[in-house]
Amino acid sequence: MSDYDILDVKFKFKKRPLDLPGDLRPNWRVPLLLTMLYYCCRGGKSSLYKLHLLNWTMRDQQRQHALLSSLTDAPQYDGICVQVEPSFIQAILFAAGEGLLERLDKSRVKITEAGVTFVKEVEREDCLAIERQFLKSVGMKLTEEWVTKFVAWSKVA
């Protein structure tokens, strides 16, 4: 029997659903975004750039470590680089659409009352525990000023 004999049957293709990484699901990403705003942004306000920076650190512990160790008076920016991830932008748009955050101007957003309520609900259910723990340890140390300096440094380099 040759290979062709084996192949000589009717093919039937069935579309099967793909698996999707958890961080690409809006219902996971939006609460995470809100948690960033709630724990790491003074007054719940943030520049988009800072959010992208935080988002970049969510991928693995090495990045988180790099960010944490650079939040000092004499910061070392090596090991930090920021990617703009389209799916994160989509999450921001969804969150804005849901009224969980509002746009202050072209480059800044602010969490709304509804957003804060949601974050608290999420914490009560102990969801996103590990992610929240990291964001809490970053806290308000990651200031807009720090971000501005980092951007300046990136441009020079």
Partner 1 sequence: MRLHIRHLSIKVTTGSGNYGVEIPFTSGLNVLRASNSMGKSTAIQAIIYGLGLEAILSTSQGVPFAHVLTQYLEVGGRDALVTESTVFLEFENEAGSIWTTQRAVKGERHPNLVTVHEGPLLTSGGTHPRQDLYVRRPGAAKNEAGFHRALAEFLGWNLPEVETYDGKLVPLYVEAIFPLMFVEQKRGWSDIQARFPTQFRIRDVSLRATEYLLRLDAYEFLLKRRSLVQRSSELKQQWESRVESAVSTANGENMRVEGIPALPTAQWPPEGGIRLLVFRSGEWADCAMIQETDEAALARLPKAKRIDNALVLTTQDSLADAEKALTAVQFAISRKLDTQEQLDLEVTRLEKRISEIEVEVRRNKDELVLRKLGSQQNLSIAESHCPTCHQGISDSLVSDLRAEFMTVEDNIAFLDEQRKMFNAVLERTRRDLARVRVELAADREESNRIRTTIRSLNATLTSPEGTPSTADIESRLTLRDSIERRKRVVRRVNEIDNALAMLAEEWSANEAELTALPKDMLSDSDSKKLTYLEKSLRSQASEYGMSSISAETLSINPDTYLPNHEGFNLAFDLSASDLIRTIWAYINGLREVATQFETNHLGLLVFDEPKQQDAAVESLAAFLKRASLSALANHQVVIATSEPLSSLAPMLEGIQASLVKFDGRVITKT
- List of residues contacting partner 1 (CB under 8 A): 15, 17-31, 86-88, 90-91, 93-94, 97-100, 114, 117-118, 121-122, 125, 127-128, 130
Determine the angle formed by the axes of helices 26-40 and 48-57, rounding to 10 degrees. 110
Q: What gap in Å lies between CA 36 and CA 80, rounded to an integer?
A: 18
Q: Which is nearer to partner 1, 26 or 75 (CB)?
A: 26
Nearer to partner 1, 7 or 18 (CB): 18
Least distance from partner 1 to the Cβ atom of residue 43, Å: 22
Collapsed DSSP state (helix, strand, coil) of residue 102: strand
CB of 149: closest distance to partner 1 in angstroms? 30
Identify which of residues 1 and 20 has a Cβ nearer to partner 1 in the complex: 20
Q: How far apart are CA 7 and CA 64, in angstroms?
A: 51
What order do you get walking across the sheet with 45-47 strand by strand?
45-47, 108-111, 101-105
Give 80 or 92: the residue with its C-beta nearer to partner 1.
92
Distance (Å, whole) CA 157 – CA 144: 20
Least distance to partner 1, CB of residue 105, Å: 19
As measured in angstroms, the least distance from the Cβ of 33 to partner 1 is 11
